[in-house]
A and B are shown apart, each in its own frame.
Chain A
Amino acid sequence: MELALVIEKFILVAIIFGISLVTAMYSTYAERKVAAFLQDRVGPNRAGPFGIFQPMADGAKMFMKEEIIPTQSSGLLFIVGPSLAILTACIGSAVIPWGQTLTIGSRVIDLQVTDINVGILYIFGVVSLGVYGIMIGGWASNNKYSLLGAIRAASQNISYEIAMGLSIIALLMLTGTLSLKEIAQQQHGFWANGWFTWNFFRQPLGFLIFIICAFAETNRSPFDLPECETELVGGYHTEYSSMKLGFYLFAEYINMFISSAVMATLYFGGYNFPFMHHLGLSENLVTILGVVALFAKIIFFIFFFMWVRWTIPRFRYDQLMNLGWKVLIPLAIANIVLTGVFATIFK
């Protein structure tokens, strides 16, 4: 491998890592602001103008808090839990195509860290690993509430991963590839051959199932049972304090960012935007606008996550399981059948 490529990828990784962390940081701020606006309040406004330094203040607070490790906890695992949670949250962004190629001089830079041909499977694998962070943390805390939260998280994630995987199968039947880069390329522009190119318009039901499962996978309301305050004190992170707690909370927001990016890439055309090649812009400009378009979609989805959180009450546990196993999985299978029929008819 040539050195320039290593440097290029290293810079790209650093930028994407930074962007995911900053987005997650500002998601905590946005969450509080959105909650406030939806409830006719003002929200955090003390730190800086409109409170924009609130995430920094929160971070400083988290770092300076006393670190409490319960004597009855299993030492090493207690530390591994949050580390694993944040690690798996961060590595998911590696396969997402953030844009097309940038040409600088004679060098063509691909705005994707790596284009592995099983991109979606990689993301599924990483997301499944994420639940281990929660499980290990909940187990190591040696606290009944933490354990209950961890068990809930594990069973919830396993149940919803099935429906999520099935909804993806229907999509893959249309795309014929697992590579996220190719899936994004197939959705080029907005309109082609008499129909929308974005996968949402071919797979509306699949998208619905996918987004519901994404809510469950990221442990967001209305599926936030692993940490539901009213029943389990704090759920799996009851015993955590200081930056370990911060990591857990942070991992949730990074997961939200990644799943928004995945949804945008799979169903809403990724970096594609309408008329991208009819405006007569230079290739580099189109790429940059594409990145902006992708982030606009991601931000919309993050907003949607928050919007739903402050609208819908939490599911009861049996309702959650009913929805997962008795509704979403049959629906996802029906979606596969329907997709097969339609794909055969409208070849």
Chain B
Amino acid sequence: MESLTNKKKVLESKPLNFWERAYLPAIAQGLSITIKHFFKKPATIRYPEEKREFSENYRGLHSLKRDEEGRERCTACGLCALSCPAEAITMIAGERQAGEEKLYREEKYAAVYEINMLRCIFCGLCEEACPKEAIYLDGDIVPSDFLRKDFIYGKDKLVEAPLNQ
């Protein structure tokens, strides 16, 4: 039967000739290939000292943003948690009291905001879902740690540093 694409190639296994059976030319060829790599620039980098440049839209560690007056933007609407396919985000909403206007932008804010970095898949859907532009995945890669509980990042790690500091 004729094949559809005519791309089929029948390979014959020929018996090795003398030089192929002697191995030595093949070994010399292999050695010449490896010695070429000896003088090449290493493909790896010395990681903690050197870091690769991330692309501009790299999705790293989350940060909760503040507005231009230094108030937290998050209103604890829960859309990020809802959109999260890995169910990594949990939050407890709090109501802004009188005198806290400098801290929180809206009347409602996230009293507790936790992301489990072991669950997070860094898809960026929370970023897309947020109507207040409060969360961005613009940080570094998640640092290593020893205990699972230490990978649950609270507001202390997530919220941006205040403006005046």
Enumerate chain A interface residues (CB-CB to B < 8 A): 34, 36-42, 45, 307-308, 310-312
Pick the contact of B34: A41, A42, A45, A307 (CB < 8 A): A307
New contact pairs (10) apart from A45-B46, A308-B27, CB-CB < 8 Å: A36-B42, A37-B42, A38-B35, A41-B42, A42-B42, A307-B31, A307-B35, A311-B27, A311-B30, A312-B27
**B6-46, CB under 8 A of A: which get 1 and which 0?**
00000000000000000000010011011101101111101
CB distance from A53 to the nearest CB of B (A): 17
Task: Check A38/B44 contact, CB under 8 A, given A307-B31, A308-B31, A312-B27.
Answer: no
A40 touches B30 (CB 8 A): no
- List of B residues within 8 angstroms of A34 by Cβ: 38
Chain B residues closer than 8 Å to A40, beta-carbon distance:
37, 40-44
Question: Min CB distance, B53 to chain A, in Å?
Answer: 19
The answer on a CB contact under 8 Å between B38 and A38 is: yes
The residues of A that contact B42 with a CB separation of less than 8 Å are: 36-37, 40-42
> Which chain A residues border B43 with CB–CB below 8 Å?
40-41
**CB atoms of A37 and B38 under 8 A apart:** yes
> Cβ of A307: which chain B residues have Cβ within 8 Å of it?
31, 34-35
> Among the interface residues B40, B41, B42, B46, which one has the most CB atoms of the partner chain A within 10 A?
B42
List, in ascending order, chain A residues with CB within 8 A of B40's CB: 40
Within 8 A of A (CB), among B110-141: none
Return chain B residues, CB-CB under 8 Å to A311: 27, 30-31, 33-34
In whole angstroms, how far apart are the Cα atoms of A37 and B42 in the complex? 7
B83 to chain A, nearest CB (A): 41
Instruction: Evaluate contact between B46 and A42: CB separation under 8 angstroms.
Output: yes
A37's nearest neighbour on chain B, judged by CB, is B38
With beta carbons under 8 angstroms apart, the residue of A39, A42, A312 that contacts B37 is A39
- Minimal beta-carbon separation of A71 from chain B (angstroms): 34
Please provide the chain B residues from 46 to 89 with a CB less than 8 Å away from any CB of chain A in the complex: 46
Q: How many A-B residue pairs lie within 8 Å, measured between CB atoms? A: 36
Interface size (B, Cβ < 8 Å)? 14
In the complex, A40→B34 CA distance in Å?
Answer: 10
* Complex: chain B residue closest to A46, CB-CB: B46
B27 lies within 8 A of A42 (CB): no
Q: How far is the CB of A83 from chain B (nearest CB, A)?
A: 36
Q: How far is the CB of A56 from chain B (nearest CB, A)?
A: 21
B27: A residues at CB distance < 8 A? 308, 311-312
B30, A38: Cβ atoms under 8 Å? Answer: no
Bound: A41/B47 CA distance, A: 12
Q: Does the CB pair A310–B44 fall under 8 Å?
A: no
B44 proximity list for chain A (CB < 8 A): 40-42
Bound together, the chains give a CA A93 to CA B96 distance in angstroms of 83
**Beta-carbon contact of B46 and A310 below 8 Å:** no
Whole-angstrom CA separation of A312 from B23 in the bound complex: 11
Q: Mind listing 11 A-B residue pairs with CB under 8 Å?
A: A37-B37, A37-B38, A40-B40, A41-B42, A41-B44, A45-B46, A307-B31, A307-B34, A311-B30, A311-B33, A312-B27
- Chain B residues in 8 Å Cβ range of A45: 46
How far, in angstroms, from A311 to B34 measured CA to CA in the complex? 6
B30 and A312 contact, CB distance less than 8 A? yes
**Chain B residues with Cβ under 8 A from A308's Cβ?**
27, 31
CB distance from B38 to the nearest CB of A (A): 5
**B38's closest neighbor in chain A, by CB?**
A37
Interchain CA distance A308-B119 in the complex, whole Å:
45
CA of A310 to CA of B44 in the docked complex: distance in angstroms?
18
Chain B residues near A37: list those with CB within 8 A.
37-38, 42
Most buried by B among A40, A42, A311: A311
Q: A311-B27, A311-B30 are in contact. Are A38 and B37 (CB under 8 A)?
A: yes
Chain B: which residue is nearest A39 at the CB level?
B37
Residue with the highest number of chain A CB atoms closer than 10 Å, among B31, B35, B40: B31
User: Which residues of chain B are near A310, meaning CB under 8 Å?
Assistant: 34
Residues on A with C-beta less than 8 A from B33 are 311
